[in-house]
């Protein structure tokens, strides 16, 4: 972790997405006081590691993170990508120790709320927002599940782009210019396909004029055509 900055929930652009979503100004100040600071991580830095004590609840404030789990054979498997406003690191609450690791994909700031502060947060009025975050998390995971039930690489990838676009749009961004700071290797792993499959599918889509890639930015040119190959359940609508 590089440094910490004051939480400043009242001026945080992510406030309407996270635990603060239902709060008024006075409550926002109370929340910021409880949370204290947000921590800033450089790309590649770990937010927590497998085995660390789960004594905090994490929410991405800006940037992006990935969570990875180690398979018995020692390879790492990407279990999730998380962007601004998303809660992560919930798996450890059962045992009190993390079952996965989380690391920043880009310069990323994260609000880390102490579990011991949660009762106070409920009294401030965050309980409803927490339920909503849980509901959203469940929805995202369910849609990922449906994505993975598609067998064709083309369909998985298209569904991923559409889902990510939709999430990004809800965060106030553009659904056609996607911020995806992960490597293709990670994405392939996450989508349950080989790097070669992903590369080929991406090439085909690019050649077909469906999208272009410029570093971490994927630009979707013809979302309708993407929807056509995504099969069922690409979007929540």
User: Which residue ranges make up the site for DNA (CB under 7 A)?
Assistant: 151-154, 183-185, 192-203
**Residue selected from 4, 26, 93, 217 as contacting a second copy according to rule CB under 8 A:** 93
Stretch of residues binding a second copy (CB under 8 A), selected from 27-35, 41-49, 144-152, 200-208:
144-152
Tell the smallest beta-carbon distance from residue 147 to a second copy (Å): 9
User: Which tokens is 144 given?
Assistant: 């990922």
Closer CB to DNA, 40 or 157, in the complex: 157
According to the binding rule CB under 8 A, does residue 138 interact with a second copy? yes
Tell the smallest beta-carbon distance from residue 67 to DNA (Å): 18
Closer CB to a second copy, 177 or 196, in the complex: 196
Q: CA distances (Å), 233 to each of 186, 201, 237, in order?
A: 23, 19, 8
Closer CB to DNA, 77 or 183, in the complex: 183
Q: 10 Å Cβ neighbour count for 159?
A: 26
Closer CB to a second copy, 40 or 230, in the complex: 230
Q: Is-contact 19 126, C-beta < 8 A? A: yes
- Between CA 51 and CA 62 the distance in angstroms is 25
Q: 10 Å Cβ neighbour count for 160?
A: 23
* Torsion angle in degrees (nearest 10) through CA of 85, 35, 106, 64: -20
169 Cβ contact list (under 8 Å, min separation 6): 175
- Between CA 162 and CA 176 the distance in angstroms is 9
Beta strands 3-6 and 177-179 are: unpaired
According to the binding rule CB under 8 A, does residue 11 interact with a second copy? no
Closer CB to DNA, 26 or 149, in the complex: 149
- Between CA 21 and CA 214 the distance in angstroms is 33
Stretch of residues binding a second copy (CB under 8 A), selected from 26-34, 42-50, 119-127, 172-180:
119-127
Tell the smallest beta-carbon distance from residue 93 to a second copy (Å): 3
By CB under 8 A, the count of residues binding a second copy is: 45
Binding site for a second copy (CB under 8 A): 54, 69, 71-73, 75, 77, 79-80, 90-95, 99-100, 115, 118-119, 122, 127, 131-132, 134-139, 141-142, 144-146, 148-151, 189, 192, 232-233, 236-237
């Amino acid at each position: 972790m590089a440094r910490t900055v004051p939480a400043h929930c009242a001026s945080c652009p992510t406030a309407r997405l996270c635990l603060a979503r239902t709060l008024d100004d006075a409550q926002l100040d109370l929340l910021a006081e409880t949370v204290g600071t947000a921590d800033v991580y450089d790309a590649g830095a770990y937010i927590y590691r497998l085995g660390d004590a789960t004594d905090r609840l994490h929410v991405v404030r800006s940037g992006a993170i990935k969570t990875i789990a180690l398979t018995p054979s020692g390879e790492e498997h990407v279990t999730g990508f998380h962007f601004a406003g998303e809660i992560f690191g919930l798996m450890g609450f059962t045992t009190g120790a993390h079952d996965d690791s989380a690391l920043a994909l880009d310069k990323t700031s994260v609000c880390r709320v102490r579990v011991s502060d949660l009762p106070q947060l409920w009294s401030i009025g965050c309980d409803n927002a927490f339920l909503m975050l849980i509901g959203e998390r469940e929805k995202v995971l369910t849609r990922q599940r449906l994505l993975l039930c598609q067998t064709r690489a083309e369909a998985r990838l298209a569904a991923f782009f559409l889902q990510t676009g939709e999430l990004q749009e809800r965060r106030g961004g553009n659904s056609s210019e996607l911020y995806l700071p992960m490597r293709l290797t990670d994405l392939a792993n996450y989508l349950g396909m080989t790097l070669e499959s992903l590369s080929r599918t991406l090439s085909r889509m690019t050649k077909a004029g469906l999208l272009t890639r410029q570093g971490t930015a994927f630009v979707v040119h013809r979302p309708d055509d993407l929807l056509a190959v995504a099969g069922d359940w690409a979007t929540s609508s």
